[in-house]
Amino acid sequence: MRNTGDQGSATEADQPVNGAGYGPASLSETDETPREKSLGVDLCLSHPELILTDATESSPDITVHPEQMVNDGTSNFLVIEVAGESLDQFETELGRDNTVCGFLVLDWTETNRIYRIEVADSAVQVTPSLVQAGGRALDMEGTGGQWLVHAQFRSQAALSQFRSECSERNITFRLDRLYWTSGEANADVCGLTADQQVALETAHREGYFDVPRGISQAELADKLGISPSAMSQRIRRGMDQVVGSELGLSEE
């Protein structure tokens, strides 16, 4: 996962485990997690047969966010939101991706498309293993042939179990951030991912929300070294999360 850097002074609910920093951390096999806390993690997972690996690797400026997985009894269908500048190229690669049996465009704009894809039986999936181990995915992003996962685990033992399962399936597992959370639904600031928090903090600091704006979205993207479409998505998703959290709105 991209190195998001230090997000400022850490609170108790965001303290690195065992004094570890926000880089790769070692795990203890013993389950000593305090009852009122759980583990927040940022992971990077990769494998040639992970869903959409070929399509995202062939379109490096594209980011993919899963929205919904449905099984109709015979097939698995995944609804995804795709953002980026090379959407046509991505769609071409989608038709060639061996983890996809077919796809349908549900909605589109100039920089975003919503697809329903039928997942091939041969595709490697990690979410079921993550949940079975005692975790939950808070946010997932597919980009550059990798999946960046922001997740929460009930204990260090649960995370160790998931990592072992990834190893057994030859899934490359990289742990970028490991920290205690409060165990509540919104573990970080308003439930933001690290990337969303950095995007909003930078936008606020640089005057993006001022009238008139002190900086353009393209300039913000350049500061963070990402594409304008990725910046737009992080701000939009981040603001939606902040508003929903602060106003106590349901996701329904």
Closest CA to 195 of 224, 154, 161, 153: 224
Q: Which residue type is seen at 74?
A: T
CA angle in degrees (0–180, nearest 5) for 134-138-140: 110
**pLDDT exceeds 50 at position 85:** yes
**pLDDT exceeds 60 at position 51:** yes
pLDDT band with cut points at 50, 70 and 90 for residue 187 = very low
The ranges of the chain annotated as CATH 1.10.10 are: 189-246
- What topology does CATH give the domain 189-246? Arc Repressor Mutant, subunit A (1.10.10)
The pLDDT score that the predictor gives to residue 119 is 96
pLDDT band with cut points at 50, 70 and 90 for residue 58 = very high
Give per-residue pLDDT as tens, 97-140. Answer: 999 999 999 999 888 999 999 999 999 999 999 999 999 998 89
Residues 119 and 99: beta-carbon distance below 8 Å: yes
CA angle in degrees (0–180, nearest 5) for 189-62-151: 35
**pLDDT exceeds 70 at position 228:** yes
Distances, alpha carbon 40 to alpha carbons 35, 136, 179, 229, 244, in Å: 14, 10, 5, 27, 21
Give per-residue pLDDT as tens, 236-249. Answer: 988 888 887 777 67
Residues 195 and 203: beta-carbon distance below 8 Å: no
pLDDT band with cut points at 50, 70 and 90 for residue 81 = very high
Which class would CATH give 53-119?
alpha beta
Give per-residue pLDDT as tens, 1-13. Answer: 333 333 333 333 3
The ranges of the chain annotated as CATH 3.30.1360 are: 53-119
Residues 52 and 66: beta-carbon distance below 8 Å: no
